[in-house]
């Protein structure tokens, strides 16, 4: 019966029945005229979620990693310099991806639990008097540490340095869950995926691409075939794909966007904040600490929580799964064995979150953690009760 339990990992997220039904379709002809009626609204409505009027939405059959590869290959050339801060597992992975594409990667190493260092970006860009840095790469929501970075501050730093570099943002675990303002923040490429805030199965990389980034294709020489922006945009212009599309995911994406817009994006963001705040109240009641170093860094989609000294977070997540059939996120990279993660994004309610808190509390009690059974659940209950009227 464990397959009836929700997951509390930061993605892939729980798939609501409405979206599972939308994806449960027979094979259809993706070159038939009616496919255009399905696909065109997906691209247009995605622009609202990205917060762009001038950008182009481009999708590929891939995960977020494929989206990042597409962003690099279409806009840069071997030997180009990019500026990246490393403050978690996913920013580290984008560094590795760039290095494998023979880019010069200028890395700013930061403490895990901190966010994107806008001030250090500004210093590095001001020092680049020859303007060799072609792009600044930032992870908006670092899933490994539960840290949300201030993208607007990064853009202000770039502007203060009067630097022409493009701004690329990984918003895989933030888009459709937390506010994202691509145009207002001056983001040139935003990379997301279908499996988190959009509540679908993994398999679609979703990119918002600015006109500046599209212009960079004219001089970019990194090879691309499957991930070629030009091929995809040319096919999309007539409502098609340059190769076989992930048809079921596209139908699911259309329904997902309907759900998000019916709820209202501001309401979606408020719901995620409220769910996250309940989890944070529980963590405080347990006497534990978040990996995120300060409240302005707290993510509304995932909380990474340090376990007490002498305990192994991997043992905790394994026990929760084996004993109670519930999945929580393991600690990644420097957090391995030190922290576990509670994903609270996508298709979740306060009642579902309370079930997750109760489950992890039982697992902690089983392993003799220094907590009072029910303390975290009670703290979250009190917060959800107090905010229930405002949530109606």
Q: CB-based burial of residue 347 (10 Å sphere; 0-12 exposed, 13-18 middle, 19+ buried)?
A: middle
pLDDT of residue 48: 98
Whether the Cβ atoms of residue 297 and residue 148 lie closer than 8 Å to each other: yes
Residue 335 DSSP label: G
Q: pLDDT at position 28, please?
A: 85
The reply to whether 224 sits in an annotated binding site is: no
Q: Is the peptide bond between 12 and the residue preceding it cis, with omega within 30 degrees of 0?
A: yes
Domains and CATH numbers, the chain: 2-12+265-391 (3.90.1150.10), 17-262 (3.40.640.10)
CA distance 325 to 330: 15
Residue 391: predicted pLDDT: 63
Cα separations in angstroms, 364 against 8, 314, 315, 325, 335: 16, 12, 10, 14, 18
Q: How much is the pTM?
A: 0.96
Helices 350-366 and 375-391 sit at what angle, rounded to 10 degrees? Answer: 170
Residue-wise pLDDT tens for the chain (392 aa)?
Answer: 467 899 999 999 999 999 999 999 998 888 888 888 889 999 999 999 999 999 999 999 999 999 999 999 999 999 999 999 999 998 999 999 999 999 999 999 999 999 999 999 999 999 999 999 999 999 999 999 999 999 999 999 999 999 999 999 999 999 999 999 999 999 999 999 999 999 999 999 999 999 999 999 999 999 999 999 999 999 998 888 999 999 999 999 999 999 999 999 999 999 999 999 999 999 999 999 999 999 999 999 999 999 999 999 999 999 999 999 999 999 999 999 999 999 999 999 999 999 999 999 999 999 999 999 999 999 999 999 999 966 65
pLDDT of residue 145: 97
3-state secondary structure of 327: coil
Q: What is the pLDDT of residue 225?
A: 97
């Amino acid at each position: 019966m464990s397959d009836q339990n929700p997951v509390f990992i930061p993605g892939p997220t729980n798939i609501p029945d409405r979206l599972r039904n939308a994806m449960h379709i027979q094979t259809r002809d993706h070159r038939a005229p009616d496919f255009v009626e399905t696909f065109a609204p997906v691209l247009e409505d995605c622009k609202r979620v990205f917060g762009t009027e001038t950008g182009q939405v481009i999708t590929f059959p891939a995960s977020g990693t494929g989206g990042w590869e597409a962003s690099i290959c279409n806009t840069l050339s071997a030997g180009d310099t990019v500026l990246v801060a490393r403050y978690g597992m996913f920013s580290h992975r984008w560094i590795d991806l760039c290095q494998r594409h023979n880019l010069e990667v200028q890395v700013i190493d930061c403490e895990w639990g901190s966010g994107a260092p806008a001030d250090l970006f500004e210093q590095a860009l001001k020092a680049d008097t020859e303007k060799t840095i072609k792009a600044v790469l930032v992870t908006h929501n670092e899933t490994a540490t539960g840290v949300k970075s201030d993208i607007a501050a990064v853009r202000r730093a770039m502007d203060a340095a009067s630097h022409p570099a493009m701004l690329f943002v990984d918003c895989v675990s933030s888009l459709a869950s937390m506010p994202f303002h691509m145009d207002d923040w001056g983001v040139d490429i935003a990379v997301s995926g279908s499996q988190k805030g959009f509540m679908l199965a993994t398999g679609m990389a979703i990119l918002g691409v600015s006109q500046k980034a599209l212009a960079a294709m004219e001089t970019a020489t990194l090879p691309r075939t499957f991930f070629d922006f030009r091929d995809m945009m040319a096919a999309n212009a007539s409502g098609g794909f340059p190769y076989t599309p992930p048809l079921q995911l596209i139908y699911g994406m259309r329904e997902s966007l309907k759900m998000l817009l019916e709820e209202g994006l501001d309401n979606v963001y408020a719901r995620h904040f409220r769910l996250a705040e309940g989890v944070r109240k529980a963590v405080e009641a347990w006497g534990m600490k978040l990996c995120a170093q300060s409240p302005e860094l707290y993510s509304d989609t995932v909380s990474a929580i340090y376990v007490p000294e002498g305990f192994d977070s991997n043992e905790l997540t394994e026990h929760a799964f084996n004993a109670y059939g519930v999945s929580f996120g393991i600690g990644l990279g420097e957090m391995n064995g030190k922290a576990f993660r509670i994903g609270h994004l996508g298709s979740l309610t306060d009642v579902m979150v309370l079930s997750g808190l109760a489950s992890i509390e039982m697992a902690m009690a089983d392993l003799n953690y220094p907590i009072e059974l029910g303390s975290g659940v009670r703290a979250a209950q009190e917060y959800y009760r107090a905010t229930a009227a405002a949530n109606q």
